[in-house]
Amino acid sequence: MTTRPDQRQSNDLRPIQITRHFTRHAHGSVLVCFGDTKVIVTATVEERVPRHIHVLREESTGWLTAEYAMLPGATNTRTQRDRQKISGRTAEIQRLIGRTLRASVDLTKVGSRTIHIDADVIQADGGTRVAAITGGYVALVDCLNKLVADGMLQALPPLNPIAAVSVGMVAGNAVLDLNYDEDSTAEVDANIVMNAEGQLIELQLSSERSPLTRAQLDSLVDLASEGIQKLFQAQQDALADTSGSQKSMELV
């Protein structure tokens, strides 16, 4: 195993913390922390679906969409707010979050309503999108459970848990859950999303400084799978708490 600058082994996650019921008004909300990366994710419900969903789909179905933002003080230099037009990076990340979370729930069972996932990065140290997806699933489950509790749904729709993590080749070594320093120097970096069956939902990979062999790709996918299994446990531990108070579940 390779020891990294923060003393983690190559297959170690950063400390993972999922705090549910983080805000008062959203149907579901979490603060998710991957080390020093901190993201607030909320799930709220609108009692209608976009027009294009009616046009494209004959059956009655719901919809899920996502928005993502990096708050101005989230990085070491101030990030400009997206006021007029969102950046290409922001658009790509929020499409990723929406796409992957749609794969976790049977939207035909949520009625003609839209679930809005909002991910706001309050502190960034690498892996903001994978933190948003992993925490977003917990917020989504809390949102759906509230719809059931409020009598808006008769039963919880079928769910298939998803989680996401970053992996990369750093100084020739495959490492899990990159922080910013590692991500900025990686020869290859990837964001991988999987479901509870270990099936790939999404794989985003770029060769930044050197090409990747098929054997290295397989090692990165295996490493991500190992980390994602731990993230599933963190999600389950968080969701198992039914006290209704603000709680955090930490995986170190």
Predicted pLDDT at 56? 56
Predicted pLDDT at 132? 98
Compute the Cα dihedral for 100, 103, 109, 111 and give only its sign: positive
**pLDDT tens, position by position, 220-251:** 999 999 999 999 999 999 999 766 444 444 55
Predicted pLDDT at 243? 60
Helix (H) or strand (E) holding 225, with range, is helix 214-240
Residues 6+ apart with CB under 8 A from 53: 61, 63
Helix (H) or strand (E) holding 128, with range, is helix 128-149
Share of the chain above pLDDT 70, in %: 91
**pLDDT tens, position by position, 125-166:** 999 999 999 999 999 999 999 999 999 999 999 999 999 999
**Residue 213 corresponds to which amino acid?**
T
Q: Is the pTM of this model over 0.75?
A: yes
Cβ distance 26 to 246 under 8 Å?
A: no
Cβ distance 43 to 115 under 8 Å?
A: yes
Predicted pLDDT at 58? 54
**Residue 187 corresponds to which amino acid?**
E
For the domain made up of 16-242, the CATH class stated in words is alpha beta
Place of tokens 């996932």: 117
Please give the residue that has the higher pLDDT: either 2 or 183: 183
Domain boundaries along the sequence of the chain = 16-242
What span, in angstroms and rounded, lies between the C-alpha atoms of 226 and 223?
5
**pLDDT tens, position by position, 180-217:** 999 999 999 999 999 999 999 999 999 988 899 999 99
Helix (H) or strand (E) holding 242, with range, is none
